Amino acid sequence: MPTAVQGEREVFRVIVLSPDGKDILVVPDRNRFVLPSVEIPRWQRMAENLAAAVRNDWKEEVVCLFELNDLPGTYGPGVHYQIAQHWGGVGVPRILTKWIPVATLSKDSPIDVTDHSAVQQAILRCGTDREASPVGPFTTLGWFEELRGWVEEIVEPLGFRLNGSFRQLNASPTFSLIRFETDGSALWFKAVGEPNQREFPITCELSRLFPRYLPIVLGTRPEWNGWLTREAVGKLLSDTQEDALWEKSASALAELQNDSIDHDAHILAAGVRDLGVNKLSKMVSPFIETMSQLMEQQIRTPPAPLNRKELLFLGDRLQTALEALETLGIPETLGHLDLNPGNIVASPDRCVFLDWAEAYIGNPFFTFQYLLEHLRRTGAGDSAVEMGLVSSYREPWERMVGRTAIDEALSLTPLLAVFAYAAGTELWRDEERMQDPATAGYLRSLARRMHREANSLNERRSVCLR
């Protein structure tokens, strides 16, 4: 069994409870019991990797519930505890396991003291009496059976059934992401909690308005902020470097944004962010002031913090660029602050856009800039490929906006798209999160990026004037 963190892997002790919560899976170790333990990669999907490790190492199928993160030894290089519900056996483990009644456990039981404390906390939090947990719906034993039953009720009238295979990708008290296989198309169940609760009503409304560009919603669970969709046919754009699919995605994005022009009231009512020019303009001064405070707090160099003069220059360039953007007559449309290749399923016939927690109404070109940046990061975006992507995005817009206006908007976007992302998420207004050094450092890096873009824009303007 793994006993320590090794490089880019970390250890989890898994508290596997029976479906009724009365028994727990343990490993006999001489005259004591220990919890099953697994190693999984860091910085990857914990639930998916942990379930796979339990299946491979211990031959048990489990549904992850939540992680205990407030016990000694559960931070840094220590051992973590994951609570899981038993779903079934898949073979005989190399090291035999045993089920013992939870009721027989006490401080004098032949089990590690910390493990005993973790088990007691698990029992208290996971709702073994099957009552709803105040912590979140996905800490309660039995929620997965309830979910499966609900999914079966929805898909049976459609003519297909679950085949028993599933992948649990995310697990927490309020978030869930599961892929169910059927004898037809695969299904995805997703549920969200704070700070992403808005994704539930936004996704439902956008799917209703724009079924060509979003997964088809088959059913919803409002009490869980959850919804069920068909799996979109195609490839994740992050998994391909096919120029045609990237260009198709850019064109589909522009067409979706064009289709959204007359629906801004309904989209805003669903909870998307209002990042129109007027809203962004009002954010410039307070944002610059916050960045000034963050720069003063910077301890490590390089990179050098921006001084007051540089920040005031940035604020002035932002206001000037926003004023210029407003004069171009480009409609404000649906946008996506987190558009990346992992959120796009592309095929020659259709492109589907996912994960709309960071949807906004505002300038459409910001969203395209994010996609363009991701193309550059793949290393496959040479000038010809990049020109093809830009051309594909421009074409639908040229039917309603003049080419000169599009050229001007594209020249302003590298600066304003960063500002829309940095200011629009309102992370900079969250005083608690701003105390986190990593968050503060990230915002400083975005401010420096904006300053570079402002200088570049200024230089291009100077060249044009000369």
- What pTM does this model have? 0.91
Is the per-residue pLDDT at 270 higher than 70? yes
Average pLDDT, the chain: 92
Judgement on whether residues 319 and 453 belong to the same structural domain of the protein: yes
Whether residue 150 sits in one domain with residue 96: no
pLDDT tier at 94, thresholds 50, 70, 90: confident
In a domain, residue 2? The reply is: no
pLDDT digits (tens, 9 = 90+) for 169-205: 999 999 999 999 999 999 999 999 998 999 999 999 9
Gyration radius of the chain's alpha carbons:
26
Domain boundary among 182, 204, 230: 230
CB atoms within 10 A of CB 158: 12
Same domain, 191 and 299: no
Which of 77-81, 113-117, 140-144, 377-381 has the highest average model confidence (pLDDT)? 140-144
pLDDT score recorded for residue 104 = 86
CB under 8 Å, gap of 24 or more: what pairs does 25-28 form? 25/58, 25/60, 25/86, 25/97, 25/98, 25/99, 26/97, 26/98, 26/99, 26/100, 26/111, 27/1, 27/95, 27/96, 27/97, 27/98, 28/96, 28/97, 28/98
Give the pLDDT of residue 68: 87
Does residue 162 belong to any structural domain of this protein?
yes
In 190-210, which positions are buried (b, 16+ CB within 10 angstroms) versus exposed (e)? bbbbeebebbbbbbbbbbebb
Residue 3 domain-assigned?
no
For residue 129, the model assigns a pLDDT of: 54
Whether residue 98 is found in the same domain as residue 168? no
Q: Is residue 102 part of a domain?
A: yes
CATH number at residue 224: 3.30.200.20
Residues 412 and 434 reside in one and the same domain: yes
The pLDDT value given to residue 462: 67
Q: What is the mean pLDDT of residues 19-27?
A: 93
Q: What is the number of structural domains in the chain?
A: 3
User: Which SS3 state, helix, strand or coil, does residue 15 take?
Assistant: strand
* Per-residue pLDDT tens over the stretch 376-409: 988 765 788 999 999 999 999 999 999 999 999 9
Which residue, 79, 110, 134, sits at the end of a domain?
134
**Of 230, 265, 280, which residue sits at a domain end?**
230
Q: Say if residue 218 is in the same domain as residue 129.
A: no
Same domain, 116 and 31: yes
pLDDT at residue 47 greater than cutoff 70: yes
Q: Are residues 207 and 266 in the same domain?
A: no
CATH number at residue 26: 3.90.79.10
Assigned domain for 301 exists: yes
Residues 189 and 279 in one domain: no
What pLDDT is recorded for position 115? 87
d(CA 123, CA 146): 20
CATH number of the domain at 256, please.
3.90.1200.10
Query: What is the predicted pLDDT for the residue at 2?
Result: 47
Residue span of the structural domain in which 15 resides = 9-134
Contact 161, 152 (CB under 8 A): yes
pLDDT of residue 3: 45
Please check whether residues 323 and 439 belong to one and the same domain. yes
- Does residue 106 lie in a domain region? yes
Q: Is residue 147 part of a domain?
A: yes
Residues 104 and 159 in one domain: no
Both 180 and 118 in one domain: the answer is no
pLDDT at 433 over 50: yes
Q: Does residue 4 sit within a domain? A: no
Write down the pLDDT at residue 70: 62
For residue 127, the model assigns a pLDDT of: 65
What confidence tier does 5 reach under pLDDT thresholds 50, 70, 90?
Answer: very low
